[in-house]
Structure 1
Amino acid sequence: MSDSLSPWHHAALFARSAHAARTAVVARLRAAGCVFAEDEARLLVATADTPDTLDSMVRRRVAGLPLEHVLGWAEFCGLRIAVAPGVFVPRRRTEFLARQATALTPPGAVVVDLCCGSGAVGAALASAVSGVELHAVDFDPAAVRCARENVAAAGGRVYEGDLYGPLPETLRGRVDVLTAITPYVPSGEVGLLPREARMHESRLALDGGCDGLDVLRRVAGEAPHWLAPQGRLLVETSEHQAPQAVDILTRHGLTAHTATCHELHATVVIGGNDAGRTPTGA
């Protein structure tokens, strides 16, 4: 009788080993105060390729590094979006903006994603709509590197710089859909954010100035010059900021309304270039 283990026995031993690893990781994560310890343990065990790698990942998570930074990716609209330490992690609520933008994006549309962070919104749009011409911008070099990786499959171009500054002039008056996850936390409230955000994400991606709407004002001010006739601007904001955000877009010549998803606690303000304003000098 052979001493070698059958494939069934190998599978059983592997399953027991994986279960033991998950149990140990769950215990460590719970002790550190992780609320979703079981879910996190499942992802960590599935991602690590060796016991040493798993131990290193768990130690970093226990030390407070966001789970997505430990894994190296975040799930967004069914996609794996690469994220790196220091880069803003795409939020689940932002999937609502991505869905709203997708519904407004025709095949072959010109799309610009400002304050793109990891490029999650642009990647989701390009994945859902065929033939999109995608351009994305962020001020943070680390975010730009992630965004380039995430939109490469769609042939997207990512620029490093301040809002519209690095965009090609040839895009003026041609943008069908303009998305912007501008920072909208008031400066005085940044200190109230969860520790993971405060300690491990760029403040530039969080701090929206005195009332949280400084960057939105700049985006809205230039938007009519970049949007095509009937083009749309979509920005994420908080529910209580939405009326003021609508007013800002309206004062810059855009029609504006609010869309809300209570399940995701998400609010999006949508502005339209319905007057068909064209760029100055065009």
Structure 2
Amino acid sequence: MNYREDESTVWGSVVRKLRAAGCVFAEDEARLLIASSRDAAELAERVDRRAAGFPLEHIIGWAEFCGLRIELEPGVFVPRPRTEFLVRQAAALIQPGDVVVDLCCGSGALSAALAASKGQIELHAVDIDPAAARCARRNIHLDKGYVYEGDLFRPLPPQLYNRVNVIVANAPYVPTDAIKRMPTEARIHEARIALDGGTDGLDIHRRIAAEAPLWLVPGGCLLIETGERQAPLAVELFAQSGLLVSWVRSEELDANVVIGIRSL
């Protein structure tokens, strides 16, 4: 950057302002804001927005996920590190040539990570939010998969019935009453449709679990990220749909994934 001030002076000033605003990782955020700003005026505007509670990822236009740079628009759900656990669980089950469906794909982070790690798969990603679908189309390159705007399975091609090997979903699972207790940057600046899972946080999970067996091949898998409190009920939902169920957890990432397998 071509600032008149010494770079260390600029960095120190940004760090102090971010710390005063309560940013826990002020030093790291300062580096990203400085590196992504074209001049001092843009940096000052971005620092002010961050101090006001805007998500860093919306300000700089991207988030890091599984080593990839995922492009974002304002309002689009920011991929969390915990969802990398879902990626690892799905990647362990996917074989070359498999048909993979990513429901509630958001920015397409999960799909992009699976495409990068698994290579030749037939990938279909869906989100109901137009802004999220736009981001997903930028993050999932045309040669890597298809992106659809719509409600869960509805926009998928009917020829995928009984052909899908793996369905992954980071569907909304925050109970409606709990949204008001979320951090401001998520509660205010991310689309509510990407957060609100209904009264118990499992409204979307119910719909996915009920319809997934129609799309899965025998032996195909459904993997859904959920909260630790919701996981036992999600296990029941999967079982009610005739799936063979397991629940895996990462203490390090505070992540929970429920896995259902369509019986042979």
Tell me the TM-score normalized by structure 2.
0.96
Secondary structure of the residue aligned to 2:152 is coil
CA contact (8 A) 2:115 2:144 kept: no
1:247 aligns with 2:236: yes
Deviation at 1:155, TM superposition (A): 2.6
CA contact (8 A) 2:86 2:257 kept: yes
CA contact (8 A) 1:123 1:154 kept: no
Q: Please give the per-residue CA displacement for 1:97-156, whole angstroms capped at 9, x wherever unaligned.
A: 011111111112111000000011000000000111111000100000000000016431
1:232 aligns with 2:221: yes
CA contact (8 A) 1:235 1:270 kept: yes
Query: How many residues get paired?
Result: 264
Letter in 2 for 1:229: P
Letter in 1 for 2:51: V
Letter in 1 for 2:98: A
1:51 aligns with 2:44: no
1:63 aligns with 2:63: no
Letter in 1 for 2:255: A
Unmatched tracts of structure 2, length 5 or more: none
Distance in 2 separating the partners of 1:70 and 1:100: 31
Percent identical: 58
Distance in 2 separating the partners of 1:241 and 1:262: 16
Q: Please give the per-residue CA displacement for 1:207-237, whole angstroms capped at 9, x wherever unaligned.
A: 1111110110000000000111211110001
- Residue in structure 2 matching 1:117, options 78, 101, 106: 106
- Residue in structure 2 matching 1:141, options 118, 126, 130: 130
1:127 aligns with 2:116: yes
Q: Residue in 2 aligned with 1:18?
A: 7
CA contact (8 A) 1:105 1:129 kept: yes
Deviation at 1:28, TM superposition (A): 1.1
Instruction: Indicate the RMSD between aligned Cα atoms, in angstroms.
Output: 1.6
1:157 aligns with 2:142: no
CA contact (8 A) 2:100 2:123 kept: yes
Tell me the TM-score normalized by structure 1.
0.90
Distance in 2 separating the partners of 1:49 and 1:98: 34
* Rg larger in structure: 1
Distance in 2 separating the partners of 1:226 and 1:31: 51
1:171 aligns with 2:160: yes
Unmatched tracts of structure 1, length 5 or more: 1-12, 277-282
1:219 aligns with 2:192: no
Distance in 1 separating the partners of 2:143 and 2:232: 35
4+ residue segments displaced more than 3 Å: none
Distance in 2 separating the partners of 1:91 and 1:222: 26
1:96-107 paired onto structure 2 within 5 Å = 96-107=85-96
CA contact (8 A) 1:127 1:154 kept: no
